[in-house]
Structure 1
Amino acid sequence: MATTHALWGMALALPVLATTPEYAPIAFLAGLGGGLAPDFDLYAGHRKTLHFPVYASIAAIPAMVLAAIVPTAVTVALAVGLAAAALHTVSDILGGGLELRPWEGSSERAVYSHYHGRWLRPRRLVRYDGAPEDFALAGIAAVPITLVGDALITTIAAALVAVSAVYVLLRKWLAALAPRLARLLPAPLRPYVPARYLDI
C-alpha cells in the first residue's frame, strides 16, 4: 500500500530525531514524500516510470553521508527523501505482481529495474497490496512514529493507519469495481486508464 511506503519512509526519520532533533520535522515530512513519490507514476507506467530500485538506492548513499557530515534542513531532507524512495522501490519486489488482482499470482512483473533493463519478479512475501501482512507492516512502522513524533506527525501516522485499515477491508471489492467504472469512461479518456483495469 502507498500508506505502508509512506509510514516506512517516515520511520527513516527516527534516527534524525535521535541525533539532530531540530531537523526531525523536515525529516519526517521528507520521508513521507519520498515514500509516496514513486507511486505518482500510477497512471503512467506504474512501477516503471518513477521506480528506480538500483539508482535510487545508489543516490541515497552519498546523500546520507553528506547529511551525516553536514546536517542541514536541506541535506537531511534530501537524504531521508531519497532513502524513502529507494526503500519503496526495493520493497515493491517483496510484494505481489503488477496486476489488478495480485492475489491470483498471474504477473511476474514486480518493479522495473532501469539498471538491469528488465522487470524484476515479485517475491510475494507480502501477497498483495492491502493484504493483512501489508497492514501489519504499516502498523509496525506507525508505532514508534506515534510514540515519539510531535502532534502533527502523530496525526499523519494515525491517519495513514486508518486509511490503510479501510483499504485492507475494501481491497478485493475495489478490484472488482475498478474495471466496471473504467468501462463507463468515455472513449477519449480510456487511453489514460491502466490496461489492467480494461483487460478483464
Structure 2
Amino acid sequence: MMLPTHALGGMALGLAVGAVAPEFAGVALIAGLFGGILPDLDLYAGHRRTLHYPVYYSALAAVAFVPALLAPSAGTVGLAVFFLGAATHSVADAFGGGLELRPWEGTSDRAVYDHYRNRWIVPRRWVRYDGSPGDLMLSLTLAAPLSLVLDGLPRYVVVASAAVAVLYAAVRRFLPDIAEVLIASLLPVLPGRVVARLPDRYLQAHSQ
C-alpha cells in the first residue's frame, strides 16, 4: 500500500484512541501518524525488510499498551499508539502486492519480511498494488472521517495526504517506465556504492 494510506491509517488509530482518552488525543494522533510512516523509511534500504516488523511491532504494541492502560500519560499512550501504527503498517503490507517493479503483474512472492520466522510473507494481494484503485479508495475512505473531525494543522495533513494519494495513483502505472529510463541513463555514471544501494527490482529490470 502507498505511504498516504499508511499515514492516514495511523492517524485513524490515533483518533480512535483519542476518542477513548480525549486528554491524549493530540499525542495519539501524532504518534499514530509517525508510527504509520516509520516502516516505509526503508524504501531504498531493504524495503519491507529493514524497518518492517509485523511480529515484533505487534508484540511491542501489546506490551506498550499495558502501562498506557495502567498509568496513562502522554508518553505511555504515545508510545503504544506509535508501535500500533508501525505494526498495522507492517501487517497491512502483507495484504497488498509484492516487491516487483510492476506489482500488478503478480510475479513476486515477497510482500513483507517476517524476522521472527526468518522468511518472506507471500503477498495476499487483497489490495492489488500500491497506488491501485483499491488502495486509493482505502486512502480516501480513511481521509473522509478524519477531515470531518479534525481541524487546523491535522486537517491540512489529512487533505495533503489524500491529494498525494490521488496524484500517486494517477501516475503509478507510468513510474516503472520512468524508472527504467532513468536507471538506463544513469547506471553507467553512478558510483559503485550508489549502484549497490539501488533496490534489486530496478537492477533486475535493467538487466533484462
For Structure 1 versus Structure 2, the TM-score category normalised by the shorter chain is: over 0.9
Does structure 1 residue 197 correspond to structure 2 residue 206? no
8 Å CA contact 1:11–1:141 kept in 2: the answer is: yes
Listed as ranges, the matches of 1:1-200 within 5 Å are 1-185=2-186, 186-188=189-191, 189-200=194-205
- Which moves more between the two structures, 115-124 or 8-17? 8-17
For residues 61 and 198 of structure 1, the distance between their equivalents in structure 2, rounded to whole angstroms, comes to: 39
Cα deviation 1:71-122 (Å, max 9, x = unaligned): 2111111011100000000000000001110000010000000011100000
Q: Which amino acid aligns with 2:146?
A: I
TM-score if structure 2 supplies the norm length? 0.92
For residues 164 and 177 of structure 2, the distance between their equivalents in structure 1, rounded to whole angstroms, comes to: 19
Q: Which amino acid aligns with 2:168?
A: Y
Shift of 1:150: 2.7
Gap runs ≥5 in structure 2: none
- Which moves more between the two structures, 34-43 or 62-71? 62-71
Cα deviation 1:114-138 (Å, max 9, x = unaligned): 0111000000000000000001111
Q: Which amino acid aligns with 1:187?
A: L
Q: Which amino acid aligns with 2:195?
A: R
8 Å CA contact 1:182–1:190 kept in 2: the answer is: no
Gap runs ≥5 in structure 1: none
For residues 149 and 141 of structure 2, the distance between their equivalents in structure 1, rounded to whole angstroms, comes to: 14
Shift of 1:20: 2.1
SS of residue matched to 1:119:
strand
Percent identical = 52
Q: Which amino acid aligns with 1:85?
A: A
Give the 4+ runs in structure 1 shifted more than 6 A: none
Shift of 1:143: 1.8
Shift of 1:46: 0.6
Aligned residues between the structures: 200
Q: Which amino acid aligns with 1:30?
A: A
TM-score if structure 1 supplies the norm length? 0.96
Shift of 1:19: 2.3
CA root-mean-square deviation:
1.1
- Which moves more between the two structures, 109-118 or 20-29? 20-29
Shift of 1:199: 1.5
SS of residue matched to 1:62:
helix
8 Å CA contact 1:35–1:85 kept in 2: the answer is: yes
Shift of 1:187: 2.7
SS of residue matched to 2:196:
helix
